Structure 1
Amino acid sequence: MTPTPDITAPFIGRLKTLYADMDAAYRKAADHYGFHCRGCEDNCCLTRFFHHTHLEHRYLREGFRRLPDALREEIRERADLARQQTAAAEKEGAPPRIMCPLNGEGWCRLYDYRPMICRLHGIAHEVHPPGRPAFRSPGCAVFSRRAAGRDDFRFDRTPFYRAMALLENELRQAAGITVKLKMTVADMIATFEDRPS
């Protein structure tokens, strides 16, 4: 029996290129501000991010499958715990501040596979939504303190959002995907199978 070709494969190369462009733009802005996350007194891995693209879900799963068996099992357990802790915090009406299950010893175990928002978070930026006024975010609290008094740098996320939306729409059409996605990293890990679906 001929194996079914992975319809995601052509999109992964384009995603990697997009990620490289994001990383380069972020690095340029970070260098301007002298802002680098190592030694940060906060940790963005404690922030509850929702991810909305099937393509990034599949790419993260690809990275997860490359990890050693024991590490995959450890991360699965951490993901289950994070989801339980999040549910408990929500039940109590508290904003969840729970470490991402991929964070190990202060660093992402799937750093090269991390989703878009993990790559872009922290630095002051602007976005130009279609048909709506542009808006600017001041960045995270640590950034605001460290970058105080420095000249402003125009870091526009819009081209990256547009490119990601285009890729995601193309994948959905090619794969016949109609359901929307809204998951944390812990939620995504809970869906991962060790073998391709």
Structure 2
Amino acid sequence: MKKLTPKASFRKLAAIYDRMVEQYAGAAEPIGLTCEGCTDNCCFSFFQHHTYVEWAYLWEGLNQLPPDRLEEIKARAQSYVDQAQAALNRGERPHVMCPLNIDEAQGICGLYDHRLMICRMHGVPNVLVKPTGQVIRFPGCYRCQEQTAKLEAKGETAPEVDRTPLYKELVMLEMQFVGKNLRQLPKVDHTIAEMIVLGPPRLR
């Protein structure tokens, strides 16, 4: 398999992200799901991300920020890592604001165009079929579940996004981006904060 340049990889990743956004909107609209007036903030959710290509794309966006803004985010990321580890040590699931959030009240991402897959797909009902055949379903955020319950009460079925084809594309892109060293590299299992603290991914 031919290894792609970072520029070509990011272009393909952006195209995958665009399809995610379209499918998200296609599910959210008939459900009536919006973030407006939400009493929660998904930027507090403890998400871990699993691809080098997304990690590198995150840094492609970070490197476009003014130096002082980037340093501020790095400091917030280190604080996040420390707080999250303390929570895990207590046997708790971390509940810490993402270091990229620039307005906690509104939930505004400071790197919106470079936000990662899970950030784009969270909220609506979705399904993933693993290579083993195992089917995993996510019912959506709490607000989505309230909306889908209203639909079901009327005898309607809420739409869901099938993440499987999108995941397959992302896995293929990961192989093209990393190249032959993929099997030798450590598995990616990091929060956004950890990806920031660790710096851009090393592919050798």
* In structure 1, distance between residues paired with 2:128 and 2:32: 22
Secondary structure (helix, strand or coil) at the match of 1:147 reads: helix
Asked if the contact 1:80/1:186 (under 8 Å) is kept, the reply is: yes
- Cα deviation, residue 177, structure 1: 6.7
Asked if the contact 2:33/2:143 (under 8 Å) is kept, the reply is: no
* In structure 1, distance between residues paired with 2:194 and 2:183: 19
* In structure 2, distance between residues paired with 1:49 and 1:96: 10
Question: What residue in structure 1 maps to residue 58 of structure 2?
Answer: 60
Q: Between 135-144 and 167-176, report the one with greater CA deviation.
A: 167-176
1:174 to 1:15, Cα distance in 2 relative to 1, 3 A: farther
* In structure 2, distance between residues paired with 1:48 and 1:114: 15
Could you tell me which amino acid in structure 1 is paired with residue 161 of structure 2? F
Q: How does 1:1-197 map to 2 (within 5 A)?
A: 7-105=5-103, 106-150=107-151, 151-173=157-179, 178-179=184-185, 180-192=187-199
Identity %: 37
* In structure 2, distance between residues paired with 1:81 and 1:56: 22
- Cα deviation, residue 169, structure 1: 1.4
TM-score computed with the length of structure 1 as normaliser: 0.89
* In structure 2, distance between residues paired with 1:108 and 1:77: 16
Could you tell me which amino acid in structure 2 is paired with residue 137 of structure 1? F
Secondary structure (helix, strand or coil) at the match of 2:82 reads: helix
* In structure 2, distance between residues paired with 1:110 and 1:167: 22
- Cα deviation, residue 142, structure 1: 2.2
* In structure 2, distance between residues paired with 1:142 and 1:47: 14
Asked if the contact 2:62/2:111 (under 8 Å) is kept, the reply is: yes
- Cα deviation, residue 47, structure 1: 0.8
* In structure 1, distance between residues paired with 2:136 and 2:182: 34
* In structure 1, distance between residues paired with 2:30 and 2:108: 23
Could you tell me which amino acid in structure 2 is paired with residue 102 of structure 1? L
Q: Between 83-92 and 48-57, report the one with greater CA deviation.
A: 83-92
Could you tell me which amino acid in structure 1 is paired with residue 80 of structure 2? A
Moved over 4 A (4+): 174-177
Asked if the contact 2:148/2:158 (under 8 Å) is kept, the reply is: no
* In structure 1, distance between residues paired with 2:161 and 2:194: 30
Asked if the contact 2:127/2:138 (under 8 Å) is kept, the reply is: yes
* In structure 2, distance between residues paired with 1:74 and 1:133: 42
Could you tell me which amino acid in structure 2 is paired with residue 77 of structure 1? A
